[in-house]
Amino acid sequence: MTTTPKPELTPTVEELEAQERRLVFRRFTHDDAWDLGSLLVELARDRQAPVAIDIHRAGQQLFHAALPGSTPDNDAWIARKRRVVERYGSASYLVGARFRAKGTTFEESSRLDPDIYAAHGGSFPVTVEGVGVVGAVTVSGLPQLQDHRLVVEALEHFLSRA
């Protein structure tokens, strides 16, 4: 007897907003970017995930890794998703979810060029207490919800030991 796998539950806008409120740094240094990026590489390698990983702060790339199976397209997706975080100050998946909750899509209603911006999961704001959004951590290579969940898992783990 074969069973079909259950589809992943899509998080609500409220659940996504709660993630952003919870996943906040006290500070975010070059060393933090290295450690968080290295943690993401470790998680992705354990799963043999064909992803590229990027961490930016204040317009500067602090970390980048491309794992086996990733392609140059993943870097293009990273840039497009990161621009959404920089423009909206929210996770790229949350931005897309907010448009879907209004019965539309980011592509239809944002009036932004989809070759430059992508409200697909995988880019999460780096928010510092008392400062706000200072950068983004982004993953590309998996389906968008899995990209988002990988970043959130790494942030939860990283911040739990801080």
Q: State how far the Cα of 147 lies from the Cα of 154, in Å rounded to an integer.
A: 11
Predicted confidence band at 162 (pLDDT cuts at 50, 70, 90)? confident
* The token pair that represents 89 in the structure block: 């100050």
What pTM did the predictor assign?
A: 0.93
In angstroms, the CA 128 to CA 2 distance is 47
**Residue 70 backbone dihedrals phi, psi, to 5 degrees:** -80, 165
For residues 124 and 159, what is the distance between their CA atoms, to the nearest angstrom? 14
Mean pLDDT of 109-132: 98
Evaluate if residue 109 carries a pLDDT over 70: yes
Cβ-based neighbour number of residue 154 at 10 Å: 24
Give the C-alpha separation, 23 to 158, whole Å: 10
Count other Cβ atoms within 10 Å, centred on residue 128: 16
Q: Are 94 and 16 in contact (CB under 8 A)?
A: yes
